[in-house]
């Protein structure tokens, strides 16, 4: 447990002379150390991860992570940076921050949620205050939807009670049973508190493939018109994304009150990746593994990927998701 590890850290700082102290005296001394340790949150937080509703966020650090790790996503970078930093900097938000990230597999949705978590909590996705739900894993059976709703409400209520700045990530929203996500609607609304619990400092992130076709259509239209993808603006697709998710019968947002009541703050499009973006992903992965960047291998791995549309071969059909396993082939001992 974190308490035990933190206490151990404090004890290691104690003088070695403690070995000469008789057991009873030592026990009293340790009790005193633990009492002091627990009584002073700042001291506790030196040795264990803490939840603090007032915790700060470095805009520069978040931007650096987005710029160095996320490629081909100018819209997502801008929205995420401004939305997350603005929310964390606001001492009294009116409601939780809700982000809905849309796009094909491998475009960076999961990666962005990881970056957000790591910039708020040292433990990132492994933090006790970050909670990941995968639709097909945690909510597999439609016959249990009533049970899932009760469990989901209980889980969110309990964790926000323990940490107001909790982060909840819902992956595979396009595979979630319709109606289930509406169970959390009260927690995303403009309430000061519900039954004594305030949800206003929490963050909810939804990941979905829903609307990816619309995103691709817009990106392809710009490419065929000879325009740069960086000219695409959020207004070109945000409304279409919300409508697409709301009307998609295979989406967890189908006719959802979260959209109907405008409780999703941002619908964030993730554009399909081009050949040059795959090469960027490969270079970064090489560096993260401690390899010297070999441009020949970079090109060979990128060229092994498949692209669409069939005639023009503009966009990668799997984004950066499989380049890492393909890279293993060239460095397999």
> What three-state secondary structure class fits 205?
strand
- Residue 123 assigned to a binding site: no
Closest CA to 164 of 80, 249, 96: 96
How far apart are the C-alpha atoms of 197 and 154, rounded to whole Å?
12
Q: Is the peptide bond before 152 cis (omega within 30 degrees of 0)?
A: no
Closest Cα partner for 164 from 133, 192, 123, 126?
192
8 Å CB contact between 189 and 95: yes
106 is in an annotated binding site: yes
**Do the Cβ atoms of 252 and 173 come closer than 8 Å?**
yes
109 has binding-site annotation: yes
105 is in an annotated binding site: yes
Collapsing DSSP states into helix, strand and coil, what is residue 41?
helix
d(CA 149, CA 1): 30
* Euclidean distance between CA atoms 273 and 47, whole angstroms: 41
Whether 107 has a binding-site annotation, put simply, is yes
Region of 191 on the Ramachandran plot (φ > 0 left; ψ -120 to 50 alpha; else beta): beta
Q: Is 103 annotated as a binding residue?
A: yes
Q: Work out the angle at residue 208's Cα, subtended by the Cα atoms of residues 181 and 174, and round it to the nearest 5 degrees.
A: 60
- Positions at the binding site: 103-110
- Positions at the binding site for ATP: 103-110
């Amino acid at each position: 447990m974190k308490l035990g590890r933190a206490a151990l850290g404090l004890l290691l700082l104690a003088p070695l002379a403690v070995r000469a102290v008789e057991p009873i005296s030592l026990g009293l001394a340790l009790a005193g150390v633990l009492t002091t340790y627990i009584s002073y949150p700042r001291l506790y937080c030196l040795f264990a991860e803490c939840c603090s509703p007032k915790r700060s966020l470095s805009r520069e650090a978040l931007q650096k992570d987005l710029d160095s790790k996320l490629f081909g996503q100018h819209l997502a970078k801008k929205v995420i940076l401004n939305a997350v930093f603005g929310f964390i900097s606001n001492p009294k938000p009116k409601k939780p921050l809700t982000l809905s990230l849309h796009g094909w597999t491998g475009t960076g949705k999961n990666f962005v949620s990881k970056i957000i978590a790591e910039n708020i909590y040292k433990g990132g996705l492994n933090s006790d205050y970050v909670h990941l739900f995968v639709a097909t894993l945690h909510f597999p059976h439609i016959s249990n939807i009533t049970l899932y709703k009760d469990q989901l409400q209980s889980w969110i209520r309990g964790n926000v009670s323990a940490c107001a700045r909790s982060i909840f990530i819902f992956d595979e929203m396009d595979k979630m049973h319709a109606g289930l996500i509406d169970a959390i609607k009260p927690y995303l609304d403009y309430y000061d508190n519900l039954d004594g619990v305030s949800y206003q400092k929490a963050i909810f992130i939804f990941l979905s493939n829903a609307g990816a076709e619309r995103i691709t259509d817009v990106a392809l239209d710009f490419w065929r018109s000879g325009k740069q993808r960086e000219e695409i603006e959020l207004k070109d697709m945000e409304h279409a994304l919300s409508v697409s998710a709301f009307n998609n019968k295979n989406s967890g947002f189908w006719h959802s009150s979260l959209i109907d009541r405008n409780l999703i703050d941002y619908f964030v499009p993730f554009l399909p990746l081009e050949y040059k973006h795959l090469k960027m992903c490969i270079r970064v992965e090489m560096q993260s593994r401690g390899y010297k960047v070999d441009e020949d291998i970079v090109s060979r791995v990128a060229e092994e990927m498949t692209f669409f549309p069939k005639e023009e071969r503009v966009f990668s059909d799997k984004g950066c998701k499989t380049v890492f396993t393909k890279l293993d082939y060239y460095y397999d001992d």
